[in-house]
Amino acid sequence: MSLPLRPLDESGFGAVVDCNLATNAESLAPQLVAALHQHRLLIVPRQHLTYADLLTVASCFGAVDTSVDRRYAVGGFPGLTVISNIVEDGEHIGIYDGDNEEEWHADNSFKPELTSATMLYSVITPAQGGETRFADATRAYADLPPKTLQRIEGMRAVHSIEQLGVLQSQASGGQSSIAAGSLASQPEVEHPLVLTHPATGARSLLLGSMVISGITTLTEKESRVLLDELLAHTTSAPYVYSHRWNQGDLVVWDNLATLHTASPCDSSRHRRLLYRAAVR
């Protein structure tokens, strides 16, 4: 069975996959991986997936990361996490999916080992808001002026979970997706500003509007100016796709080649529930 793909546009960033992953995921795994490497973002609509199905799909793309916050993990299904703005008995049932704009980021860039791909599956979808936007950090890098490409070659950036937690809390009135005690003690790490994809060899910008505290060879001011310029370029209209969620949508993205952010969603009016798995 060949994988039915429909690119989102002529740029090649993102493709819609028309298949039933509940029955065909394992047989289509090599094609799914190839499609993800080619398009960096896959949208698979109209799925009806169990928890076990979701882990099967995730494992098509790599080893499922089971080091998740236990408070929001799906019991009996290691690596599956609840993402939600729903509150029950005064407690969030999942990792808080805030009402405010999320920062642009690549998942887990504050860890020494980067997440290679992330998957989200929508179960309860808001009627308004809550879109997820994706930026093609690969094409954005390729389109940089030669002088900028030369300047940033070999640069390394410091990614700080402590800074991310503080800035998230300040931006959202005390709410943060950083789990106190589980990630807060994670030491700062360095990553290249420009990643080389281990499978494709393509080069991409690894950025984060809150998590990066600076570039090792630049002053704080110089770092902020350069990072702001690169992020503004990468997240400008030519490189961004905004996904409006429908119930049953499954979206997978190459975390080494893209950035993403969640759009605001009014939790007092719209409930949202998704399941997430990440792979290494």
Q: How far apart are CA 186 and CA 33, in angstroms?
A: 30
Output the pLDDT for position 180. 41
Output the pLDDT for position 97. 57
Q: Which of 210, 246, 250 is nearest to 227 (CA)?
A: 210
Q: Which of 255, 219, 231 is nearest to 110 (CA)?
A: 255
Output the pLDDT for position 181. 42
Domains of the chain: 5-279 (3.60.130.10)
Output the pLDDT for position 29. 98
Q: How far apart are CA 227 and CA 146, in angstroms?
A: 17
The reported pTM is 0.93
Output the pLDDT for position 179. 47
Low-confidence ranges of the chain (pLDDT < 50): 179-181
Output the pLDDT for position 141. 98
Output the pLDDT for position 166. 79
Strand, coil or helix: 87? strand
Output the pLDDT for position 175. 54
Output the pLDDT for position 102. 77
Q: Are 135 and 260 contacting, i.e. CB atoms less than 8 angstroms apart?
A: yes
Q: What is the pLDDT of residues 145-188, one digit of tens each?
A: 999 999 999 999 999 998 887 777 676 555 555 544 455 568 89
Q: How far apart are CA 161 and CA 109, in angstroms?
A: 9
Amino acid at 47: Q
Sign of CA dihedral 212, 216, 219, 222: negative
Cα three-residue angle 255-215-116, rounded to 5 degrees: 15
Output the pLDDT for position 92. 87
- The encoded tokens of residue 141 equal 């890098």
Q: Are 256 and 116 contacting, i.e. CB atoms less than 8 angstroms apart?
A: yes
